[in-house]
Amino acid sequence: MGLDVVLAIFFSFVIGSIFGAMAAFLLRRTLINRQIRIAERKATRMISDATIEAKNVVNEAKREADKTKYELEAEYKERRSELQRQEQRVTQKGESFDRKTEGLEQRDRNLAAKEKESEAIRINLTELRDRQLQQLELISGLSSSEAKQQLMENMETELQSETSRRLREWEVELKEEANAKSQEILSQALQRCASDVVSETVVSVVPLPSDDMKGRLIGREGRNIRALEQATGVDLIIDDTPEAVTLSGFDPVRREIARQALTKLVLDGRIHPARIEEVVAKAKEEVEATIINAGEQAAYQCGVHGLRPELIKLLGRLKYRTSYGQNILQHSIETSQMAGMIAGELGANISLGKKAGLLHDIGKAVDHEVEGTHAAIGADLVKQWEKSPEVIQGIAEHHLETGTTSVWGYIMSAADAISAARPGARRESLENYLKRLRGLEDIANSFKGVDKSYAIQAGREIRILVKPEEIDDLGAMRLVRDIVKKIEEGLEYPGKIKVTVIRETRAVDFAK
């Protein structure tokens, strides 16, 4: 009983397992078939989509190909039309060139024919001219060369007269224009110019409290006066002048140092060689400070900024320099102001004009130590510290001594002349004044054809009467220029000198 049950259970289990396996197999097969159908449907859809997309791509490619074909055909037609037009233009130009060539050939033939006619006419005219010249020679009794010479002389005389007349007209016009402009500029400059009268300073005089001080200044066996002269470099003149001694020296700065030192020694009363050296050294320091201060004040007064200390010091030294009695530093300040005004009227740089005017005579600060004119010395000095070529040009050219003169040279020359020639600016001795007048008249009388000459206006003008039978109008113009040139080369004078040549023709007869 128990075995039968076990066998029955075992067979039931085996049969159940078989049926389960079969059911699982059938179920799995069903699932696989279902997945295959789903894959087939997806593949069908993908093939359909790919087919549609391929058709779209093919259609798009066809459209692009058709468009490109249309554009290429249009471009081909356009280029073909352009080539046809160019070919037509080339054909037309060729026909035009052929026509022009034919016209030129025809013109050459016409010119050749006219040239032959002109040659024949020229030959006929030459023969006629020769026959006329022969007849004129027979009638006038002059050969052809003589007639030409006479004609040339007549033409030369006429040309000289016409040239003289034209030159006079041009000179009058230029003088009128120049005078009007210069009067306008100079009047504006002069109305702002000071008019103080200066006196000429030759020596320095130091007052003494009593004549007994002269002996103390001389010292035992002259040791004090020798020590003072050696320390200052000036000469101490002790003469019969009551209560005063005179200092004489070439260098005005040294003379000022000696004056201050001697004044302090006289006030202090202690006078011996050691004390003299100490006081002179202190006076040098004070004068150096005064020089620098004077240079700075001059630059500030003129509105000139940025000058180097070396130029300030040289500028201040001009405080102790004079020319014809005029203080050079004050003259430089006036020149700077007027140069700025003239530059402004001419449209030039006012600042550069003022700077060049202030420094134009700076060469006089060292002209006794360096060879050359003060204009050239000043230009070389300023060139070391000033980079403006206009300023250097104005300084170098302010006396018109260079080969060429720029507008800055003329501005500086005019400003310098105004400051030097204004009333009361300078004073010269009677001997120099008379010598200059005689020199002017001697220069004028040295020229051929001069009858008389007169120096007038205090030597600022000379009038010259010429012989009319020896000098014509054109010769008078040449004469005035020659005299001006000789005066500039042979005389030294402040300002400028006007030269007037007068040619007068008189006709005199008597009624009887």
Q: What is the pLDDT of residues 298-320, one digit of tens each?
A: 888 888 888 888 888 888 888 88
Is residue 357 within 8 A of residue 374, CB to CB? The reply is: no
Q: What distance in Å separates the CA atoms of residue 100 and residue 90, rounded to the nearest whole number? A: 15
pLDDT at 191 over 70: no
DSSP symbol at 185: H
pLDDT for 197 beyond 50: no
Q: Predicted confidence band at 430 (pLDDT cuts at 50, 70, 90)?
A: low
- Residue 246 pLDDT exceeds 80: yes
- Any idea what the Cα angle at residue 485 is, between residues 482 and 487, rounded to 5°? 110
User: Of the spans 92-96, 321-325, 440-444, which averages the highest pLDDT?
Assistant: 440-444
Helix spans in 269-327 (H): 273-302, 309-317
User: pLDDT confidence of 230, banded at 50, 70, 90?
Assistant: confident
pLDDT above 70: residue 293 = yes
pLDDT of residue 490: 82
pLDDT of residue 478: 87
Per-residue pLDDT averaged across 171-192, rounded? 67
* Per-residue pLDDT, 495: 66
Write down the pLDDT at residue 422: 57
User: Is the CB of residue 227 less than 8 Å from the CB of residue 234?
Assistant: no
Helices (H) and strands (E) in the chain, counts: 14, 8
The answer to whether 280 and 265 are in contact (CB under 8 A) is no
* pLDDT 10s digits, 358-394: 888 888 887 667 777 888 888 888 888 877 888 888 8
Please state, in angstroms and as integers, the Cα–Cα distance from residue 196 to each residue in 187, 331, 335, 369, 413, following that order.
18, 11, 15, 31, 21
Confidence grade of residue 142 (pLDDT, cut at 50, 70, 90)? low
Mean pLDDT of 285-295: 89
Residue 118, classed as helix, strand or coil, is helix
| Distance of alpha carbon 449 from alpha carbon 238, whole angstroms | 56
Give 69-77 contacts, CB < 8 A, sequence gap 24+: none
Identify any residues that bridge with 236 across adjacent strands, giving them in sequence order.
247
Task: Assign 90 a pLDDT band (cuts: 50, 70, 90).
Answer: confident
Which residue, chain included where needed, has tokens 């003008």? 461
The per-residue pLDDT for 326 is 74
Confidence of residue 188 (pLDDT cuts 50, 70, 90): low
What's residue 199's pLDDT? Answer: 39
Name which of 307, 306, 364, 309 is nearest 332 in CA terms. 364
Q: Do 346 and 407 contact (CB within 8 A), yes or no? A: yes
* pLDDT tens digits along 112-133: 888 888 888 888 888 887 887 7
473-490 and 430-445 are packed helices; what angle lies between their axes, rounded to 10 degrees? 140
Residue 200, pLDDT above cutoff 50: no
How wide is the angle at C-alpha 25 spanned by C-alphas 21 and 27, nearest 5°?
A: 115
Would you say how long the chain is, in residues? 512
Specify the higher pLDDT residue, 423 or 50.
50
One-letter identity of residue 321: R
Q: What is the reported pLDDT for 308?
A: 87
**Which one is predicted more confidently, 392 or 10?**
392
Q: What percent of the chain has pLDDT over 90?
A: 2
> In whole angstroms, what is the distance from residue 133 CA to residue 149 CA?
15
Calpha distance 54→47 (Å, rounded): 10
pLDDT band at 196 (very low <50, low <70, confident <90, very high): very low
Whether 198 shows a pLDDT value over 60: the answer reads no
| Residue 185: pLDDT band with limits 50, 70, 90 | low
In sequence order, which ranges of 372-458 are alpha helices (DSSP H)? 374-383, 389-397, 407-421, 430-445
429 pLDDT tier (thresholds 50, 70, 90)? low
- Whether the predicted pLDDT of 496 surpasses 80: no
Neighbouring-strand partners of residue 293: none
* Residue 313 burial (C-beta neighbours within 10 Å; 0-12, 13-18, 19+): middle
Position 492 pLDDT exceeds 80: no
Kindly give the interhelix angle for 407-421 and 328-346, rounded to the nearest 10 degrees.
130
- Confidence (pLDDT) at 431: 63
What does the alpha-carbon distance between residue 107 and residue 114 come to, in Å, rounded to a whole number?
10
CA pseudo-torsion sign 484, 489, 492, 495? positive
Say if CB 377 and CB 367 are below 8 A apart.
yes
Closest CA to 364 of 428, 398, 317, 326: 317
| pLDDT higher than 60, residue 190 | no
The answer to whether 335 and 420 have CB atoms below 8 angstroms apart is: no
The single-letter DSSP state of residue 454 is: E
Cα separation of 329 and 319, whole Å? 5
Average pLDDT across the chain, whole number: 81
What's the CA gap between 356 and 358, in Å, rounded?
Answer: 5
CA–CA gap between residue 328 and residue 416 (Å, rounded): 11
Closest CA to 413 of 304, 331, 347, 495: 495
